Structure 1
Amino acid sequence: MSRADATGLTFRQNHFDDPSDWAALVSLLHDTFGIDIDPLRELGGPDPTSMPFGWFTADGVLAANLTAFAMPLVVNGRRINAAAFQSGAVRPPWRGRGLYRDVTTKALAWCEAQGFEAIILYTDKPALYEPYGFRSLALHRYEGEAPDAVAGMPAQRLSPRDATDLATLRDLLSRRTPVSETFAVAANAAMFLINTEFNPDARVSYLPDHMAAVAWTMPAAEHFCLLDVVAPEIPSLAAILGSLGISPAIAETRFRPDKLGWSGEAMPLEGDTRLMLRGLDGVLLDHPAMLSPMADF
């Protein structure tokens, strides 16, 4: 394998402590994907386990980057010490030089040294990662007739940009139980919080009866979609609907609803984005499932 052509560039690892380097990453992702991750600074900052690998120009432009971070998972009822890759990008003038292969190799070596059992990532270019041992997972949402709502204390709307609401959310995120035993995030606050920015249709509500925060949307007047539940103990779907004060005809969950006291029909998730897994060789999900969209990265 040929070495990367890094002429005129300097490699830096673990560079998030430098505000100018964070700004360089924000710029790279905005210019490449049209997304703005800078609000994460006001929501508690990037995940503290993040380990970025980047090639910089002499004037501080980030030419290529890939970031690894811890993403503990539950898979088939077992907690997995997993990592995730995000923020992978190369600016056009430096493409074709092997820089992305270089940062990927460095990130994989770091994950191996840290003892991670598995690595996950989202991509619309799965062929890019298959040579490194990643495989695509089939993802499924669940949909069916909504249960009758069970009355409870009215839910309260939460805004992560409000300091009090943010503190409530961060406390719940620190004590959350996985939303499913088949496939779910066991811990990761940063991704949930930044996804409240990326998905403007998502509402976040606090259920006082259950000390739970739920992220949800209404794709149509009679269609309720539950994106995630953050709580020490997962309330039933009937209780969630009751606290929200809604009685939809159709309910949908973007995770396997094995803790909700409700079961819908598993349906393949549409779209070009794939979730890929490296490690856990031979392990298949014991039921159709997907990670909550609030864990997207």
Structure 2
Amino acid sequence: MTLRQDYFDDPSAWNALVDLLQDTFSIDVSILDQFDGPDPTSMPFGYFDADGRCVANFSAFSMPMIINGRVVKAAGYQSGAVRPEWRKRGLYRDLMQRAFSHTATEGYELDLLLTDKPALYERYGFRILPQHIFVAQTPTLQKSDLSARQLSLEAPDDLRLIRTLLQDRQPASAQFAVVRQMEMFLLNASFNSAIRLTALGDDTVAAWTFDGATFWLLDIVGTTIPSLATIVSALDIQPERIEICFSPDRLDCQVLLEPYDGYTMLMVRGKAAADIVGPLMLSPMAEF
């Protein structure tokens, strides 16, 4: 068995991780190959057997956040998996500690992860960060000067626009939001066919879903953040209920709170964790 790190420049090793995640979680991260490959900030740590199979992995990646108006150097952790026949040998613990040591050396001040097994990470100083859905009243619709155009990740011009705005975006919230994380946005949009990506003019993209009654606003990507009334008017919908899935402090709207009861829990640790003040939610488009 061979320990490898920072191995994404080896196509065979990357494909071996793709297979591990497909076999473990039934997710196909090879979709990232359509978008120039995996996150270049990612630092994977993995064990490989003699046949080149990835039998265990744990990865760290850069996920800069804005917290209470301050940009924070934050790291996310993902792609943690061990093949069944290699479990209970300490491999996962070993890889986690290597990843944690790497981000500590690099000076990250906040660590984040999503998990359905919080007890596994509490021993390493992580704590659960409660999340909330923000329920807004339907705003008074107004005539919109913004043209709304549905985008497709398969259309080169649309993908170019989305990537440009993700690179140059203003964080959707000043309280708690991702500053920049392109790969997870594109991957999450690809995983869920119900997610609509709509250009509002030339400098904003809304990620949203709508079932005819409830409108879920998942993220706003752009150089400016329009108000909720502007967004809903431009999309030309009349929802009975609006759920905002990120901190709405830049949307100029009044909201009520409901606890978010998701499958996974957001956990944090680090010196910047004490600065986080709720209520908040990590955009589903940034989930990892």
Alignment TM-score, normalising by the size of structure 1 = 0.94
* CA distance in structure 2 between the aligned counterparts of 1:145 and 1:73, rounded to whole angstroms: 28
Paired position in structure 2 for 1:131: 123
1:140-196 alpha-carbon deviations (Å, 9 max, x no partner)? 110132112232333111111221111110000010011111110011100100001
* CA distance in structure 2 between the aligned counterparts of 1:280 and 1:147, rounded to whole angstroms: 39
| Counterpart residue type for residue 187 of structure 2 | I
Query: In structure 2, which of residues 94, 97, 103 is the aligned counterpart of residue 105 of structure 1?
Result: 97
Helix, strand or coil for the counterpart of 2:276? coil
Instruction: Kindly indicate whether the alpha-carbon contact (under 8 Å) linking 1:43 and 1:160 is maintained by their aligned counterparts in 2.
Output: no
Shift of residue 53 of structure 1? Answer: 0.2
Query: In structure 1, which of residues 218, 240, 246 is the aligned counterpart of residue 231 of structure 2?
Result: 240
Helix, strand or coil for the counterpart of 1:39? helix
Shift of residue 252 of structure 1? Answer: 1.1
Paired position in structure 1 for 2:257: 266
Instruction: Kindly indicate whether the alpha-carbon contact (under 8 Å) linking 1:85 and 1:121 is maintained by their aligned counterparts in 2.
Output: yes
Structure 2 unmatched ranges of 5 or more: none
Shift of residue 41 of structure 1? Answer: 0.9
Paired position in structure 2 for 1:116: 108
Instruction: Kindly indicate whether the alpha-carbon contact (under 8 Å) linking 1:136 and 1:277 is maintained by their aligned counterparts in 2.
Output: yes
Instruction: Kindly indicate whether the alpha-carbon contact (under 8 Å) linking 1:152 and 1:242 is maintained by their aligned counterparts in 2.
Output: no
Shift of residue 284 of structure 1? Answer: 5.2
Query: In structure 2, which of residues 80, 87, 95 is the aligned counterpart of residue 88 of structure 1?
Result: 80
Instruction: Kindly indicate whether the alpha-carbon contact (under 8 Å) linking 1:152 and 1:239 is maintained by their aligned counterparts in 2.
Output: no
* CA distance in structure 2 between the aligned counterparts of 1:282 and 1:164, rounded to whole angstroms: 39
Paired position in structure 2 for 1:4: none
Identical aligned residues as a percent = 48
1:76-107 alpha-carbon deviations (Å, 9 max, x no partner)? 22111000000000000100000000000000
RMSD of equivalent CA atoms: 1.2
Paired position in structure 2 for 1:3: none
Instruction: Kindly indicate whether the alpha-carbon contact (under 8 Å) linking 2:72 and 2:272 is maintained by their aligned counterparts in 1.
Output: no
| Counterpart residue type for residue 3 of structure 2 | F
Tell whether 2:205 aligns with 1:213: yes
Query: In structure 2, which of residues 129, 139, 163 is the aligned counterpart of residue 170 of structure 1?
Result: 163
| Counterpart residue type for residue 196 of structure 1 | A
Structure 1 unmatched ranges of 5 or more: 1-8
Greater shift after overlay, 22-31 or 146-155?
146-155
* CA distance in structure 2 between the aligned counterparts of 1:180 and 1:250, rounded to whole angstroms: 21
Task: Pick closer, same or farther for the CA change 1:281–1:82 going to 2, 3 Å.
Answer: closer
* CA distance in structure 2 between the aligned counterparts of 1:242 and 1:152, rounded to whole angstroms: 9
Helix, strand or coil for the counterpart of 2:28? coil
Shift of residue 282 of structure 1? Answer: 6.3
Greater shift after overlay, 10-19 or 150-159?
150-159
* CA distance in structure 2 between the aligned counterparts of 1:281 and 1:207, rounded to whole angstroms: 34
Shift of residue 267 of structure 1? Answer: 1.1
Tell whether 2:27 aligns with 1:29: no
